[in-house]
Amino acid sequence: MNRVLLTVTLSVVFSLATTSSCSRQADEPPQPEQQAQPQTVEQAAAPAPVDPATVGDAGQALALGNQLLENNKTEEAIQMFLRAVELNPDLADAYFQLGIAYALIEKERRDAALADGSAAAAVEEEPADNSKGKKKASSKQEEQLTESERAFKKAVDAYQRIIDKNPDDHVAYFNLGRAYNKLNEDEDAAKALKQAVKLNPEDAEYQIELGAILIKLAQYREAIPPLKKALELDPENSKALGLLEDAQAGRSRLDYARKEAEKNSNSNSSAKTGDDSDKGEGTNETRDKEQNEAAPKAPSNTKQDQKSANRPN
């Protein structure tokens, strides 16, 4: 009888323990590692990978390349820009963006070279050879261009073709100026940007780019008006404000240097005039002395006077 009672008691205790364990498991929240991790903003915004070969429209390829570039997928962006210019060799914006992407890669290589302590402190870029069937550059200067420089030069040519067809295209002039600026052809950049501003003076971005290139050329006084105009159009534009301060400071330095140069010039002129005056006085004295010595002396009248005095009346 006691054995039966003991067996029943153990069964009841085991049943209660099992029920309690299951209840705790049901009430406990899932473990952190079991929860799905939310996507980051970058992951959510990043476009799904697209094979450039499957894109059949140049404008679409350019747009996809811009998205990839914004998401720091520079290598993939380059391939998409190359697809864009393959589909449309006159697509100037694609060449420009291609230059931007190549420039980022080249900077990364230079930074890596500096970090590694390379003697050259810069990586020699291989000439770009992205188009099939085209002749390689023959001139030494062309062969020494980086990939970004080649892309910007093609952008210049493409924008120029647009302008040739429509001389009033202010957007083409603006982008032409930007492309020249990337090539450090500053005079041509200023010329193109001035034309863009002339055609569309109410664009603050145009005015800012013109002011920036004029500062780069150390034409500080000329840079002030477009930057002031930019602030009239966009009073909160911090870039325009900073550039205006730079232009005004540059103008002040030039004015100060000019005044100092004039002061030194006047001082030197005064000193030279004084020296010439002293030298002239000495010369006059010497000349007078020489003339006196060379002049014939008048005969003495003493004997004649004596003779006159002794002459009988």
Task: Set out the domains of the chain in order of their start, with CATH numbers.
Answer: 50-120+146-152 (1.25.40.10), 166-267 (1.25.40.10)
Which stretch of 101-105, 134-138, 240-244, 284-288 has the lowest confidence by average pLDDT? 134-138
pLDDT band at 252 (very low <50, low <70, confident <90, very high): very high
The confidence score (pLDDT) of residue 277 equals: 56
Percent of the chain with pLDDT strictly greater than 70: 62
The confidence score (pLDDT) of residue 41 equals: 53
Residue 292: CB atoms within 10 A of its CB come to 9
Give the torsion sign (CA, 96, 98, 101, 102).
negative
Question: Per-residue DSSP letters for 237-251?
Answer: -HHHHHHHHHHHHHH
Q: Is the pLDDT of residue 75 over 90?
A: yes
Query: Structure tokens of 55?
Result: 């894109």
Higher pLDDT, 44 or 65: 65
C-alpha span between 244 and 230 (Å, rounded)? 10
Segment 135-190, tens digit of pLDDT = 444 454 667 899 999 999 999 999 999 999 999 999 999 999 999 999 999 999 99
CB–CB of 196/125 below 8 Å? Answer: no
The CA-atom distances, in angstroms, between 231 and each of 202, 212, 224, 236, 242 are 11, 14, 11, 7, 11
The confidence score (pLDDT) of residue 137 equals: 43
Which stretch of 36-45, 102-111, 223-232 has the lowest confidence by average pLDDT? 36-45
pLDDT band at 268 (very low <50, low <70, confident <90, very high): confident
Q: Is the pLDDT of residue 201 over 50?
A: yes
Tell the residue number behind the tokens 């009248």, with chain if given.
301
